[in-house]
Structure 1
């Protein structure tokens, strides 16, 4: 058995063990974030194999790609689940766009973060109040802002624990797992996207070595977070 195969199998078994452990500790009080990316479907499949049955949510920001929105039904059918679709408050979105314009995110990093907060962070934190742990598909390889996170952290912004079982996985392993198990996929990956978010703020990756180079491309790499995974 090659080193690459052995390491891949070890990470897979390690992740299954972590999922079983966390799900047991937080039984009935855990949820999984689905953001239309490959990490999320891999994590969903691993949780199914581990016998874990979390609630699964997705954030409909009002700015997603049609391809991402269409993926919801594919995932529900494939895994036999029903997604909790959470949305921002319409009044807050209207107030923000009336004051700053529809494309405020291009004008400054501060306004971009405001848009992310209104459309993502606020509705997420309201949803998470009913849980004690949420699973994410974060990986250290994704961004300079994610290199120092741990598999389990207490998220002060949401007030609950956050687990990232795929933290040590490489992109190649994630893609190979998804292909091997024929998991639902976002067609945007075939168009050169390596990281997928809202349509106005995401484009195909300009640098294949930088997974998030297509996200908020007008900002410096150390600022490329929407606020869901920032620390206080």
Structure 2
């Protein structure tokens, strides 16, 4: 039997309880700020924290997932687990079939291994274009990104402006550690993707994700054949940042 590699949970102390209260206040606040706001869920640990925070509080934030057509069966199974636990149907957005077919015909189904350009083109077809459809007509979106995840997210802010779509963007877990994520999941008995226990802290498409080795950062298993500074798929393009304060009107931070 393989060893369970589920990350260790952080201690539940007064500081962490305060952090949870702040997260819940943040969720309530951004739901009030926007009439149309959605969480983009990868169905992995961080997004399950946010899913629980949203659904357990009946916050008016929709939840969707990008079904790329190359996801692990375990990831797809999380949609059923959310339905069973919360009675909520996560909306799914799929890539355009003709674009997938054209890419495979021109380059090969797994051409993303050949170059960063071809990999990003695949991500554009399977993730970015469906995301744009998912976010059409919304005022803001929410992600489970954390600064600790990789060097490409070290400067992440809780509130940003998504310049590509001209909408607000929120990263409520920006300053959370991996241990805090797992402490929250355990505290509220939140369903988790079984791939995490097999050494997958960050989960994407099946052919582009592997288990990480001890000591590697949490996104080392994503596009592992590329350099660390190129490991994004194009979903997260932002410029200005905003500082959150409960019950306060957001004000753009100085450049």
The TM-score, its normalising length taken from structure 2, stands at 0.86
| 1:76 CA displacement | 1.7
Match of 1:72 among 71, 79, 91: 79
Aligned residues: 229
2:158 is equivalent to residue 155 of structure 1: no
Higher relative contact order (CA 8 A, sep 6+): 2
Q: How does 1:106-145 map to 2 (within 5 A)?
A: 106-145=113-152
Q: Secondary structure at the match of 1:203?
A: coil
Alpha-carbon distance between aligned partners in 2 of 1:100 and 1:207, rounded to the nearest angstrom:
34
Q: Secondary structure at the match of 1:21?
A: helix
Q: Pick the structure with more helix per residue.
A: 1
1:207/1:213 contact within 8 Å kept: no
Offset from partner CA, 1:121-149 (integer Å, 9 cap, x none): 01111220121111111111111111112
Q: Secondary structure at the match of 2:78?
A: helix
Residue 173 of structure 2: aligned partner: 166
Q: How does 1:1-232 map to 2 (within 5 A)?
A: 5-27=13-35, 29-231=36-238
The TM-score, its normalising length taken from structure 1, stands at 0.94
Q: Which 5+ residue runs of structure 1 have no aligned equivalent?
A: none
C-alpha RMSD over aligned residues: 1.5
Q: Secondary structure at the match of 2:138?
A: coil
Alpha-carbon distance between aligned partners in 2 of 1:46 and 1:33, rounded to the nearest angstrom:
14
Offset from partner CA, 1:10-68 (integer Å, 9 cap, x none): 211111111111110103x0111111201111111112344413111010001000111
1:30/1:135 contact within 8 Å kept: yes
